[in-house]
Amino acid sequence: MVGDNIYFVSEKSHVERALSVFGRDEEEARRVVIVGGGNVGAFIAQKLIDSDSNIQVKIIEVDDEKAMAIAKNIPKAIVLNGDALDVDIQKEANVKSAETIISVTNDDKVNILSALLAKQAGSKRAITLINNHSFGPLTYSVGIDAFVDPRQTTVSSILQHMRRGRIRSLQNLAGGAAEVLEAVALETSPLVGKPLREIGLPDGIIIGSVVRGKEVIVPRGGTIIKPDDIVVIFTRLEMIKKVEELFSVRLEYF
């Protein structure tokens, strides 16, 4: 339905085509405006510049000293010293021509409002950092395209080290109602050596993809998982212990 959040797995080369199916047919960002020149903003700016020399990055920072430091440390970025909620500053940053605005200050209201002003001016996409978890669901309704919740990201990082079995990474979704796991299939796992249709995974667990070396496999009923395959799994919260069992070393193996 309209407004649903959809999570899917895709080969990198097919991402744009997959997004277009969901009405997200957008060009890759070449002009990016970042609001907030703190650690997060500076890190994003440097990563973008390092990833593609053709990307134009502008940073809006209200603090004079921070703005000067960023201009010195990231000379390839254009730094504007001013308030991101000031329409004149946004005009100077030419946000109307930016494919993406990324608002990552420590103030949720500044992040949301600066992103909305940029969208109204013509920016195609808006991404915001949201520290107050309750604000997250509201961002979509007001026109924000995506938000990052550092609390949720931190929780995911902590849980990654608490999970049993060979779970390599994890992402917490929907406020903790579900998780995406990336785990290594062990030789003793009940997932290994027989077609997926014969395994009988319980409701609430879906295998999204299997990575074997450099090959990404979209699983079918006849797909057979091999030892050391990396398996991407979507699971509801109440089924996590079952997933852990599937990727744990069994005592009888020894």
DSSP 203: T
pLDDT at 101: 93
Do 25 and 110 lie in one domain? The reply is yes
Q: 174 with 136, same domain?
A: no
Q: Which of 148, 167, 199 is the last residue of a domain?
A: 148
Q: Single out the residue in 87, 119, 148 at which a domain terminates.
A: 148
Claim to verify: residue 129 and residue 166 sit in the same structural domain: no
The answer as to whether 192 is a domain residue is yes
Distance between CA atoms of residues 163 and 155, nearest Å: 12
- Residue 65 has a pLDDT of 94
What is the total count of domains within the chain? 2
Last residue of a domain, one of 113, 128, 148: 148
Give a yes or no: residue 7 inside a domain: no
Retrieve residue 73's tokens: 């440390």
pLDDT digits (tens, 9 = 90+) for 220-252: 999 999 998 999 988 888 888 888 777 764 433
Same domain assignment for residues 134 and 170: no
Q: Which CATH number characterizes residue 242's domain?
A: 3.30.70.1450
C-alpha closest to that of 247 among 196, 195, 192: 192
Q: What is the layout of strands, in order, in the sheet containing 56-61? A: 78-81, 56-61, 31-35, 100-103, 125-129, 146-148
The CATH number of residue 129's host domain is 3.40.50.720
- Domain-embedded: residue 4: no
Contacts of 231 (CB under 8 A, 6+ apart): 182, 183, 184, 185, 191, 207, 209, 210, 211, 225, 247
Q: How far is CA 9 from CA 12, 177, 218, in A?
A: 9, 19, 9
Whether residue 5 is contained in a domain is answered as: no
Q: What is the predicted pLDDT for the residue at 10?
A: 72
In three-state secondary structure terms, 185 is: coil
Residues 170, 215, single domain; the answer is: yes
pLDDT at 168: 61
Note whether residue 2 is domain-resident. Answer: no
* pLDDT, position 175: 63
Are both 108 and 224 inside the same structural domain? no
Does this model's pTM top 0.85? My answer is: no
Structural domain for 245, as ranges = 154-253
What Cα–Cα distance (Å) separates residue 253 from each residue in 40, 109, 148, 163? 45, 55, 42, 20
- Find out whether 30 and 94 touch, Cβ atoms under 8 Å: no
Instruction: Walk along the chain (254 residues) and give the pLDDT tens digit of each residue.
Output: 776 777 777 777 777 777 777 766 556 678 999 999 999 999 999 999 998 878 999 999 999 999 999 999 999 999 999 999 999 999 999 999 999 999 999 999 999 999 999 999 999 889 888 888 777 666 766 778 887 877 666 545 544 544 445 666 567 676 667 888 888 888 888 889 989 999 888 888 999 999 998 888 989 999 999 998 999 988 888 888 888 777 764 433 33
**Tokens for 56?**
């134009």
What pLDDT score does 253 carry? 36
Residue 153's pLDDT is what?
60
pLDDT number for residue 254: 30
Q: Judge whether 180 lies within some domain.
A: yes
Whether residue 1 lies inside any domain: the answer is no
| Runs of H (alpha helix) within the chain | 15-21, 39-51, 64-73, 87-92, 108-121, 136-141, 150-162, 240-246
> Mapping DSSP to helix (H, G, I), strand (E, B) and coil, where does residue 51 land?
helix
Tokens of 249: 């070393």
Please report the sign of the dihedral spanned by the C-alpha atoms of residue 156, residue 160, residue 163, residue 166. positive
β partners of residue 183: 167, 231
User: In this structure, is residue 3 part of a structural domain?
Assistant: no
For residues 104 and 161, membership in a common domain is answered with no
Q: Are residues 16 and 141 in the same domain?
A: yes
Structure token digits, residue 232: 């991407």
What type of residue sits at position 160? Q
